[in-house]
Amino acid sequence: MADLISFLVLLALGYGFGQYFERRHYRSIRRREKELQDILILQSKILPATLQNHHEQFLVNGNVVISVDYFKRFVAGLRNLVGGRVTSYETLIDRARREAILRMKEEALASGAKMILNVKYEMCSIYKGRGRQIGSVEALAYGTAFNPTPATPATAPGGAEHGA
C-alpha cells in the first residue's frame, strides 16, 4: 500500500512539475528563436563569395542536458507495451536539440558572428546503464561561426570605420 502511495505521489509530482517545466521551456525556446533568427545556420561548408577574404572564424558550440521526469518515463513504459510514437520522449529530445542550437547561436552572437556553417548535432544518453533508468539526454550542436570584418583598410579606406 505504501508503495502504491509513493508511486502515485511521484507520478503526480512528475506530471505537475514536468509539464510546468516543459511549457515554460517551450515558451522560452520560442521567444529566443525569434530573437536569434537573424543568425544564419547552414549545413553548407562553403562560405558565400562576398565574405571570402574578410572574416574571422571560430568554433562555437552549445550543449544542454535535460532530464526526463517520472511521469514521462511511466508513459514511455506503457507505450512500450503497445508500440507507436513515444510522444513524451519526442518533446524531450526536441527541447534538447533546439536549446543546444540556441546556446550555440548565443555564443556566436556574443562574438559578433552573423552565420554558422557546417552545423552538426550530437546526442548522448547520460544515465544509460544505471539500473532501469533511461535518464537524461545531452544534446550538443557545433559549427564554425563567421564574423564578417570590414574589408582591409588599404582597399576600402572609407568603409573601415563604419562598423565602429
Partner 1 sequence: MIISNLELIPGKRVSKHLGLVQGSTVRSKHVGRDLMAGLKNIFGGELKGYTELLQDAREEAVARMVEQAQSVGANAVLNVRFSTSSITAGAAELFAYGSAVTLE
**Residue numbers of the site for partner 1 (CB under 8 A)?**
10, 13-14, 17-18, 21-22, 25, 45-47, 51-53, 55, 57-59, 61, 63-73, 99, 117-118, 120, 122, 124-131, 133, 135-136, 138, 140, 142-144
Q: What angle do CA 145, 119, 46 make, to 5 degrees?
A: 70
Closest to partner 1 by CB, 49 vs 82, is: 49
| Residue number, 45 or 162, with CB nearest to partner 1 | 45
Question: Which neighbouring-strand residues pair with 123?
Answer: 139
- Least distance to partner 1, CB of residue 78, Å: 17
**Closest separation in Å from C-beta 160 to partner 1:** 18
1: Cβ contacts below 8 Å, ≥ 6 apart: none
Smallest distance from partner 1 to CB 63, Å = 6
Q: Which is nearer to partner 1, 32 or 136 (CB)?
A: 136
Q: Shortest approach of partner 1 to residue 163 CB, angstroms? A: 19
How many CA atoms within 13 Å lie on the side-chain side of 57? 15
List Cα–Cα distances, 2 to 9, 93, 133, 148, in angstroms.
10, 33, 22, 63
Closest distance to partner 1 from the beta carbon of 67 (Å) = 4
- CA 13, 19, 22, 23 dihedral sign is negative
109 versus 135: smaller Cβ distance to partner 1: 135
| Residue 50 DSSP label | G
Nearer to partner 1, 82 or 133 (CB): 133
The answer to whether 28 touches 130, Cβ cutoff 8 Å, is no
| Alpha carbons 125 and 117: distance in angstroms, whole number | 26
What is residue 45's three-state secondary structure?
coil
